[in-house]
Amino acid sequence: MLRGASIIAALLACLIGLADVFFDALEFPNAHVAIPSESPAKIGPFERGVCLLRGISAEKNPTRAVENFATASFSGDERAKYAMALCMLEGVGTAKNQKGALELFRSLERRDFAPASRALAYCYERGLGVEKNPTAAKAFYEKAFAYGSERGAVELARFCLENSLTPVDSKGLAEAVKKLSKKGNPEADYALALMYSDGVGVDKDVLESNRLLRIAAEKGVDSAQSLLGMNLLKGVGCMADEKAAIKMLMSAAKAGNAKAQNNLGVCYKNGIAVEKNLPLAVEYFRRSADSGYPVACANLAICYLDGISGNYRLAVEYLKKAAREGNTDAEYRLGQCYADGKGTEENFIEAAHWLSRAAAAGDVRAKASLGIMLVDGEKIERDLPLGISYLSDAAEAGIPRAILHLGACYYTGIGLDKDVNKGRALIRKAAEAGDEEAKKVLVKISE
């Protein structure tokens, strides 16, 4: 039995403010639910489900809440279908069924139900029930914003600015976010700070960006704390303040912010603004990596490869996680692990695959490694034109082993017109840069 005369106010507060406490900012529609105060037991199944889910004038009972949402759904209540989808997405009161949740979100989205557009964007952004797809995520955030969703505007701004994407209507988006910021919404403060930082939809103003970041940080927005911490550390738009920076980063890290955890790991590993502490650095990297942050996965793997805790096998596992998310450094290092048989069996097909991805992203180390493999043609099929091209790029960037092998190609006439003098000069350059193999080769060709 539902209890209490305050059920109307409590339920409305739940519906209106639910975004901040339920399913990481996924919201119920802002429905004004009429509940007779003299007979609260007469409320409908959707309203009853919300009360049972949130413990409003009733004991919390997620299972019964879902039963009530199901009953209301059969009657065509879109709010109830959305609530059912949220519960299925997170496994609250029912078995987790992300694909089933997505089907419900899509059916509601086709009816122009704005919260469902945001929910689909959320799923595509985080890979819930579907593969991560930034393009699809942006499209659904844009649609939610077009429907007039205030939170949709905030999420669109945040998502675009955090992922270097351009909103369709930058100025219109900035105005919408400004309105919500003026209402005291801290997430809007953070999103608007990002817009001022990059000059998207507004004139670039780093000072105003930091002012908004401070407001959002003081209200507990961990992303704002993380970014402000880095600005304070680097002196971006403010006087550098290492003590305040670390305090901000720690606050964000404590709240579970993966970027802040990773950045603290970098600080402790290198003694930046704190005393060097490798075990603590590894712990922060691990926390961040276990949240799925690709940069932290790569950083943790590097620690393991360098013999700082862990082992090579674990290093490869974390490199795989980061590489699958498109982290270029991880792609290069994973390719090298496959080529060297470090933490895994030698596999030159896999090595070439990951090195190719890193090289395509511009990593000159990967170009050097792959160029050598392609020119040698011992472990993978020889491709002299592509190999020489990669070696040339890497040599121009100053990679000693690339300079050595490019010099060898000129010296021997492999893939290039033979030029002994140019070849010898490049080999000498590599040796002078400290390449041990180049030193040995230089001695041999000088005899």
**Domain map (residue ranges) of the chain:** 362-447
Task: Give me the residue label for tokens 């000088």.
Answer: 446
Task: Name which residue leads in pLDDT, 361 or 26.
Answer: 361
% pLDDT > 90, the chain: 78
- Name 14's Cβ contacts closer than 8 Å, sequence gap at least 6: 28, 50, 54, 56
- Give this prediction's pTM: 0.81
DSSP-derived letter for residue 293 is -
- Buried b / exposed e over 223-252, threshold 16 CB at 10 Å, is bbbbbbbbbbbeeebbeebeebbbebbbbb
| Residues 371-413 pLDDT 10s | 999 999 989 999 999 999 999 999 999 999 999 999 999 999 9
pLDDT tens-place string over residues 44-61: 898 888 888 888 777 889
What is the structure's pLDDT at 41?
Answer: 57
pLDDT (average), residues 313-342: 95
Domain 362-447 has CATH 1.25.40.10: yes
Rounded distance between C-alpha atoms, residue 429 and residue 435, angstroms: 9
Tens-digit pLDDT profile for residues 113-163: 888 999 999 999 989 999 999 999 999 999 999 988 888 899 999 999 999
Which amino acid does the sequence have at 96? K
Contact assessment for residue 296 and residue 262, using Cβ atoms and an 8 Å cutoff = yes
Write out the two tokens for 198: 């990059």
User: pLDDT of 418-433, one tens digit each?
Assistant: 999 999 999 999 999 9
CB-based contacts of 261, cutoff 8 Å, min separation 6: 253, 284, 285, 287, 288, 291, 293, 296
